[in-house]
Structure 1
Amino acid sequence: MPPRVLPQAASRDFRIDAAKAVGIVLVVLGHAKGCPPWLVMLLYSFHVPLFFWLAGAVVSDARLAETPAMTLRRLGRTLLLPYVFFFFAAYAYWLLTRGIGDKALRWGSQPWWEPLQGFVTGNGVLLYVDPALWFLPALFVTAFAYALLRQRFGGRTTALAAVVCGVAWAALFPALGLRLPFALDILPVALVFYALGAVLRGLPGVSVGGTRGVATLAVLAALWLGAAWFNGRVDLNHLRFGAALPLYLISALAGTAVCLILVARLPDSRVLRWLARNSLLIFASHMLSFSVMSGVATVAGLRPAEVGIGWALGSSALAILACVPLRWLMLTLAPWALGVARPAPALGTMERVA
């Protein structure tokens, strides 16, 4: 079979790839045990909004012209099938190890079927066997909602409505203490970043050269650091927006802008492109890799959380490197688990997710 080259491959924007590559490394590091609290706070302030922004930035006009049924099939293949596979992989590991060591204190008394509630509802709070998986159903509903709204109202109107509704939702809904199934309670806020990414997709090309560019970058960095620091720890998965909602929005948007501007200056490299093309695999597998590494460390008499930043950096690197053989194995045996319609004969031909 000749190599299948995707239509977008020739015109793939390296700046988007670089942002995805840097973003996925930051996500992994932010989830690692031993990562300093101040760094976790800064990373959480923008890294999830960054990925919703990038997902909106790469959606093409052809994709937005699909029928709702076509969009559902595509998003189901690229997001829900990986969600199913990686949940049950993490669930199997949880069943095998929940009675060992510290896990016995946390999960030993939990009924075996309880994690299945998290899988069915897509609720991030209940997805404790692999907390990061909440992002996949959240992106699914966000991308589908945006496609429907964009066809009906256009890009700018949809973005404006998303900002207004998202801000109102974030200000009022968390106080009710309710959670909606399949990330529908996260949708209004996620849609803000997705819609802005779609209409402002040229932002990664902003130059930092010259006095004006450096000044712009300095102002954005100051806004991000100041807002994130005074707002405190946030978590979109748990609908926690910190001390003040305006500070959350400022830190999320300014942090995203700083990342997009800086990565545009990075030189093209195979490493960055590999990280970008495998961001789905890294995202879905790194928490399971962390669990395995923590289990091995505990058996060896180590406590990862007490090792500090060294453990965080080392475990993050190992979790990413583990995706090299894992990707080959999955493309050979179960390409559908990565959202790929059929095995790709070369590393560079993996289909890009929505």
Structure 2
Amino acid sequence: MSARSNRIAWIDIARGIGIILVVYGHVLRGLVGAHLLTTANPVWASDYTIYTFHMPLFFLLAGLQVDRSLSKGPQAFLRSKIITIAYPYLLWSLFQGGLQLLMPGLLNTPRSPWTLVTILWHPIAQFWFLYVLFLCHVIGFLTQARRTLLIPLLLISMGCALLAMHGVPGLFVLPATLAHCFVFYAAGILLSHALLNWRPSVGMAMFASALSEFGLGLFSHLGRGWSHSLSDIPPSWPSAIAGIALLICLSHLLDLLTRSLGSWFETLGRASLTIYIFHILAAAGIRVALKKAHLTAWPLQLAVGTIMGVGLPLLLHLWLERANLLAPLGLGVKRRSAPQSIPVI
């Protein structure tokens, strides 16, 4: 457990590593969209590998804690998800969408005012995650995480994802994105007992990390061809599993070996929702500023964009935490004394 609360240290560390990869991936795609980098560049190969597992990781981590959340009562579970997921989704979608309407230079593709209405059924930009995560939690609430219901739903989700890959959208049951993400959310619930009780030794964690890294390299190489470089379809699942396993093992290693570095990643993990919400604005602003300063070299853009895309929202999170403003802004939940970060991403 983390020293701050009853949060689990390795889960926050995994979130911290994962959110860096999320920012990196969006900065990389932003450079391609702004024509500062081409897909022929060798660094573009990292896009497919990262995208196979960085968001599935967050759905699996969310699933790991469903049983514990439901133990407080189903009504409390649903209420908490409305407060910690639906509310920040609506609030910050309206904020970012409105800001992008006022400052279209931040976007590679302009938006219309109608976008602010369609967020009720069509998420914008990175907010698709909160939208789909809330739907997953609604399914968790309706099934009460009962394995007899989850396993059939998991199989249905896998079937929907397979059929969507062959051009059958929605299948009257689950849209393709929800089907893909629910596979990992349900897997997190089903594997929660095993993963939450796994206490590897340093040697075991190092061996499992090396094995997972080999698997990620192999499956991402094969999966790129199998999936035609589409990271969110079933042929990419082996790479996703290997990538998630690698981050879980690395998180245990950081927790076991380097508490100072592990604590830094824990901080990122606790601030991951704030970073996720604001990193697009931060990274896009940095990209535009560097471009206006004629600093268009992609290595500089990628490095500075990723660092600032993580760092600026982190500073904002720490300031809001000190000012006790996380909870009112949907970025934390009120505890006995001060608001703490929401463990959703």
TM-score range, shorter chain: 0.7 to 0.9
Aligned-pair CA distance for 1:134:
0.6
Q: Give the Cα–Cα distance (whole angstroms) in 2 for the partners of residues 8 and 208 of structure 1.
A: 20
1:287 pairs, out of 280, 289, 309, with: 280
SS at match of 1:45: helix
The residue number in structure 2 matching 1:4 is: none
Describe the superposition over 1:107-163 as per-residue Cα deviations: whole angstroms up to 9, x where unpaired.
2xx6x323225412134xxx2xxx111100111111221232235xx23x3453243
State the SS of the aligned residue for 1:122: coil
Letter in 1 for 2:259: D
Secondary structure, counterpart of 2:119 in structure 1: helix
Q: In structure 2, what is the Cα distance between the partners aligned to 1:172 and 1:250?
A: 18
What is the rounded CA distance, in whole Å, between the counterparts of 1:344 and 1:280 in structure 2?
Answer: 21
1:61-140 matches, within 5 Å, as 61-64=68-71, 66-67=73-74, 69-98=75-104, 100=105, 103=108, 106-107=109-110, 112-123=112-123, 127=124, 131-140=125-134
Match of 1:223 in 2: 215
Structure 1 Cα separation of the partners of residues 241 and 199 of structure 2: 15
RMSD, aligned CA: 3.3
Give the aligned residue type for 2:284: S
Specify whether residues 271 and 218 from structure 1 end up closer, same or farther in structure 2 by C-alpha distance, changes over 3 A only.
Answer: closer
Equivalent residue of 1:265, what SS?
helix
Q: Deviations over 1:259-314 (max 9, x none)?
A: 111220103343122111111111111011112112222332344xxx22332222
Matches within 5 A, 1:1-354: 10-33=5-28, 34=31, 36-64=43-71, 66-67=73-74, 69-98=75-104, 100=105, 103=108, 106-107=109-110, 112-123=112-123, 127=124, 131-151=125-145, 154-155=146-147, 157-176=148-167, 178=169, 184-201=175-192, 202-203=194-195, 205=198, 207=200, 209-210=202-203, 216-232=208-224, 233-236=229-232, 241=233, 245=234, 247-266=235-254, 267-269=258-260, 270-303=263-296, 307-328=297-318, 330-331=320-321, 332=323, 333=325, 335-342=327-334, 349-353=340-344
Residues 175/249 of structure 1: CA separation in 2 closer, same or farther (3 Å cut): same
In structure 2, distance between residues paired with 1:317 and 1:72: 35
Change in 2 beyond 3 A, CA 1:8/1:139? farther
Give 3-state SS (helix, strand or coil) of 2:73's partner: coil
Determine the C-alpha separation between the residues in 2 that align with 1:150 and 1:309: 47
8 Å CA contact 1:19, 1:259 repeated in 2? yes
Normalising by structure 2, report the TM-score.
0.79
Structure 2 unaligned spans of 5+ = 32-36, 38-42
Q: Cα distance 1:11–1:176, how it changes in 2: closer, same or farther (>3 A)?
A: same
Give me the whole-angstrom Cα distance separating, in 2, the residues matched to 1:102 and 1:77: 29
Shift of 1:32: 1.0
**Number of residue pairs aligned between Structure 1 and Structure 2:** 319
